[in-house]
Chains A and B, each alone.
Chain A
Amino acid sequence: MPERVEIDESILAQDQQEAAAIRERLRQAGCVAINLMGSPGAGKTALLERTAELAAGRWRMAAVQGDVATDLDAQRLQGRGIPAVQVTTSTFGGQCHLDARMVARALSSLDLRGTDLLFIENVGNLICPAAFDLGESARVVVLSVSEGEEKPLKYPAIFQGVSAVLISKTDLLPHVAVSLARLQENVRAVAPTAQVLACSALSGEGMADWTGWLERVLAQERGGGG
Chain B
Amino acid sequence: MHEFALASRIIERVSAALGSQRPGAKVATIRLRVGQLSGVEVEALKFGLELLLPNSRLAGAQVAVESVRPRLRCGPCGRESEVRQPPFRCPACGSAEVELLRGRELQVDSVELAEEKDECPSESR
Q: Which residues of A contact B (CB under 8 A)?
A: 2-15, 95-97, 99, 127-128, 130-132, 152-153, 156-158, 160-161, 186, 188-190, 192-193
Task: Knowing A156-B86, A188-B96 are in contact, say whether A131-B13 is a contact too (CB < 8 A).
Answer: no
Task: Knowing A2-B28, A2-B114 are in contact, say whether A7-B14 is a contact too (CB < 8 A).
Answer: yes
CA distance A14 to B99 in the complex (A): 26
Task: Knowing A2-B112, A14-B12, A156-B86 are in contact, say whether A9-B17 is a contact too (CB < 8 A).
Answer: yes
- Chain A residue nearest in CB terms to B41: A127
- Chain A residue nearest in CB terms to B40: A131
- A2–B40 touching, CB < 8 Å: no
Number of contacting residues on B, CB 8 A? 42
CA distance A202 to B91 in the complex (A): 41
- B17–A5 touching, CB < 8 Å: yes
- A10–B107 touching, CB < 8 Å: yes
- Residue of A4, A156, A193 with most partner-chain B CB within 10 A: A156
- Chain B residues contacting A153 (CB-CB under 8 Å) are 85-87
- A11–B86 touching, CB < 8 Å: no
Within the complex, the shortest CB–CB distance from B104 to chain A, in Å, comes to 6
- Chain B residues contacting A193 (CB-CB under 8 Å) are 97
- Chain B residue nearest in CB terms to A156: B86
Q: Mark out the residues of chain B between 9 and 39 whose CB falls within 8 Å of any chain A CB in the assembled complex.
A: 9-10, 12-14, 17-18, 21-22, 25, 28-29, 32, 37-39
- B108–A189 touching, CB < 8 Å: no
- A11–B107 touching, CB < 8 Å: yes
Does B120 lie at the interface of the complex (its beta carbon under 8 Å from any beta carbon of A)?
no
- B17–A7 touching, CB < 8 Å: yes
Within the complex, the shortest CB–CB distance from B112 to chain A, in Å, comes to 4
